[in-house]
Copies of this chain bind each other. A is one copy, B any other.
Amino acid sequence: MGKRIGNQTIQMDLKPSIEFTTSVVGPKEGAGPLSEYFDIILTDDTNGQDSFEKAESSMMNRAIVETISKAQLEDKEVNYIFGGDLLNQLTASHFAIRDIDIPFFGLYGACSTMTESLSLASLMVEAGFAVNAIATTSSHFSSSERQFRFPLEYGAQRKVTSQWTVTGSGAMLVSNKKTKGKPVVTFITTGKVKDYDITDVNNMGAAMVPAAVDTLKAHFEDTGKNPSDYDLIATGDLGSVGGDLMVKLMKEYGYDISKNYIDCGDQIFIKDNTVCAGGSGCGCSAVVDCGYIYKEMLKKKFKKVLLMSTGALMSTTSSLQGESIPGIAHAVALEME
């Protein structure tokens, strides 16, 4: 049975496996450098629905249904879904799963939701409370722009530090089955809300870095590990600006992550003046983790990986009221045994 080590970490003993994953992405993501790793690439970012919000729900529904189907399970054999998204009141998730007959825990950690859901799904399986659990999340560029920023038709100018919300959804099936050749979950480090008084909503990467640094430091301190113990350390969506800052700040604390660090948001798109500093959104780390990283783990290119999705915790109301942007990051360590 898993146990607490240090202040923020659970060391797994059973070590649940990630049996299957599914990634569903939009056309722009599907045309990016990680194209070959995605399971389903939409040709139309509305996915045949009559709103971007419904499109987002349909992507998450497909990611979940496809994952359960790959595992040849029925709904009743999956004990929980842990999931969430960026839309107000998690409507993308709720409408995605209303026809799926599985108990649901709704989560909100902004773009940290993939590792938040993976943490809780893994802990429930580790404890024996679940045999199989789904961890999922989604985001959609156009539903996010409408909700958080401006109508697309307005054509607002973007800053060099702006990021482009990923249209995509990922789902993982965490299980006590532990099929040989599948990655297992070894450590869960849960993050705290960190607020360093950053108020620029066009530089969310920088707003999330202090939380990512805090969680990564806690992970190393709790486990006694150091950066070279991992083949890959992958933050969720700090983008190129936040990613550079992450490496610099970790160095100041005595950890050199420059050799094995990537940011999912920095990898997913072809760089141009639309995506600016890179990808963001819950869907960003979801599809890069479920696609590129998971599939390269199966091939043993990466044997030890630390996933750390990162969330910027503001709303349009909090920003209008002059509040700063707190951040949070949750880390999950995976290993090919």
Contacts and interface: CB of A to CB of B under 8 A. Distances in A.
Contacts of A54: 321
Contact of A313 (B10, B94, B193): B94
A314 interface: yes
Contacts of A101: 192
Given A107-B108, A190-B80, A53 B91 contact: no
B192 A88 contact: no
Nearest to A127: B127
Interface in A318-337: 318, 321, 323, 326, 328
What bracket does the count of chain A residues touching chain B fall in?
Answer: 35 or more
Number of copies of this chain that the complex holds: 2
Given A89-B110, A128-B3, A104 B192 contact: yes
A173 B41 CA distance: 45
Contacts of A104: 190-193, 328
A190 B147 CA distance: 30
Nearest to A2: B129
A244 interface: no
Interface in A179-193: 190-193
A295 interface: no
A76 interface: yes
A60 interface: no
Contact of A95 (B105, B190, B326): B326
A83 to B, nearest CB: 10
Interface-central residue, A99, A101, A124, A315, by most chain B CB under 10 Å? A315
A7 B193 CA distance: 34
A109 B91 CA distance: 11
Given A88-B317, A107-B108, A326 B127 contact: no
A156 interface: no
Q: Which of A86, A98, A126, A326 has the most CB of B within 10 A?
A: A98
Given A128-B3, A326-B98, A315 B108 contact: no
B323 A95 contact: yes
Contacts of A69: none
Contacts of A86: 89
B116 A76 contact: no
21 contacts: A1-B127, A1-B128, A4-B131, A53-B317, A54-B321, A80-B190, A84-B108, A87-B315, A87-B317, A91-B314, A94-B193, A97-B193, A99-B195, A103-B191, A104-B191, A105-B190, A106-B107, A106-B108, A106-B328, A107-B107, A127-B127
